[in-house]
A and B are shown apart, each in its own frame.
Chain A
Amino acid sequence: MGLFGYLFVWCTLLLALCLQVMPLPDAWLVWRPDWLGVLLAYWCVATPQRVGVVHGFVLGLILDLIEGAPLGQNALTLSLLAYLFLLLYQRFRVYSIWQQAVLVFVLLGIAQLVEQWLRTIFGPISVSLEFLLPALIGALLWPWLFTMMQVLRRRLGIG
């Protein structure tokens, strides 16, 4: 993967970051898929030699700065997510696409759970199971996103 490949990876990740922090009406916020998590997962599975924990850490720090969260909160969750996908990517590749989606849901859910734990450490919040919705919607989007990204990646010859 050359310079162009890296550029492409970072462009897609930054696009996902923008989608992640795009202002939405208050009632829609919980329905926003975990864009950044899903895309990071894709690149960890597709190019595990290149994209990994450090990418998650840097993106998480940027997200912390934009969201005003305690520095390191999203950095920790996203690097953990990247790590989990790097652990499982070989098994992941032999799964059918819907099995993959289920696994994506489980791993994104674990990351969201860790994030909720960190939040409760830093102060009172209203806890409800709604925090799993971004993971669920992200997983439902996975088959389409995965197929689209694979086609794009093959056409651009990145890998």
Chain B
Amino acid sequence: MRPIKPLFSYGPVPTYRMLLCAVLAFGLMFAEHRFSAVETVRSHLTTVVAPIQWLVSLPSEGMRWGAMAISDQQSLIDENLRLREQLLTLSNRVQRMASLTAENVHLRELLNAPNPDDVPYITAELLSLDSDPFTQQMVINRGRRDGAYIGQPVMDASGLIGQVVSVSAYTSRVLMVADANHAVPVEINRNGLRFIAQGTGQLDTLDVPSVPATADIREGDLLVTSGLGGRFPQGYPVARVSRVKRASSQAFMEVTAEPISQPERSRYFLLLFPPERPDTSGLSGPERMARQVIWPGDPAHPEVHRISETALTAALKLQAGAPH
């Protein structure tokens, strides 16, 4: 005889499954935090979900294509006109650039200073902006196969966008300068004062903390990468100072800046390949510091590996002898 079915069955209450899932999830989070092997596993798994990323980017691609297909002749003519004007302006600038470059080479020869090389790059296209409102990231269509690596600087046509934080076979994820987790060492283009520009989580604002009240910084100043820290090459525009608030009683000023790059409007980006720095982990403190500022292969000092050894030894000796 079959047992009587209870009127109020409890049904499935999968507490054990829930516990198992929670333990697994915490285990994964911990493992990713501690072990770098998870990073490779993750980059392979991300390749598996790449079709979904491609699929969800289709509608916006289609919209763009559709907008172009149905746009009327007049707007195309207007755009053509605008582009011609832009071309004229840019070619004018290029001509001046050529003469300036020649002049610069000449002056550097007079000063006996080496010429900085160009930083090589590849182009990349936006796949998707981040779908999460609390972080500022985006996915681009270059991955390990194209040579992208973690920590690589990313630019758009106008300025620094951010850096690559994870890489899969065909795509990589870029952390933007405006993300609350991002900071970049900068200097004022006008006078070379060095600061840190920190993201706030809003696309149009960067924070510049720890600016002394006496520092010469004004609204409208251009902040460019200083190249210290070694991740970003020197001299790329990052932000423009938008607000300087001085309070006479405070030792520091409140300075905010507006990023120059336009991640919301750009579709095409440059992935830079700055020259690699030597491994400095095994060196002593002063030598490591010296090498972090000037390292062999630095575009600003390409001949440094020839001259540095003697100069470095002399500087180290001087420093070692100083306390006595």
Contacts and interface: CB of A to CB of B under 8 A. Distances in A.
B55 interface: yes
Contact of B132 (A69, A70, A122, A124): A69
Given A23-B60, A24-B131, A65-B49, A126 B203 contact: no
B17 interface: yes
A67 B32 contact: no
B21 A76 contact: yes
Contacts of A86: 11-14
Interface in B38-68: 38, 42, 45-46, 48-49, 52-53, 55-57, 59-60
Given A57-B21, A57-B24, A68-B137, A18 B14 contact: no
A123 B180 contact: yes
Most buried by A among B8, B22, B27: B22
A66 B17 contact: no
A125 B29 contact: no
Contact of B32 (A29, A72, A119, A131): A72
Interface in B189-223: 200-203
A83 B134 CA distance: 26
Contacts of B22: 76, 79-80
Given A76-B22, A125-B201, A17 B132 contact: no
Contacts of A89: 11
B132 A67 contact: yes
B29 A73 contact: yes
Contacts of A130: 133
What's the interface size class on B, roughly? 35 or more
A101 interface: no
A141 interface: no
A21 B60 CA distance: 13
Interface string A66-98: 111111110110011001001101100000000
B18 A79 contact: yes
A23 B57 contact: yes
Q: Which of B29, B42, B55 has the most CB of A within 10 A?
A: B29
Contacts of B201: 125-126
A22 B56 contact: yes
Nearest to A17: B52
B198 to A, nearest CB: 10
A131 B14 CA distance: 28
Given A20-B131, A70-B29, A123 B181 contact: yes
Contacts of B173: 68
Contact of A66 (B25, B52, B133): B52
B166 interface: yes
A72 B26 contact: yes
B228 interface: no
Given A21-B56, A79-B18, 16 more contacts: A18-B56, A21-B131, A26-B133, A29-B133, A52-B14, A53-B14, A54-B21, A56-B21, A62-B49, A65-B49, A66-B131, A68-B130, A71-B38, A75-B25, A79-B25, A118-B29
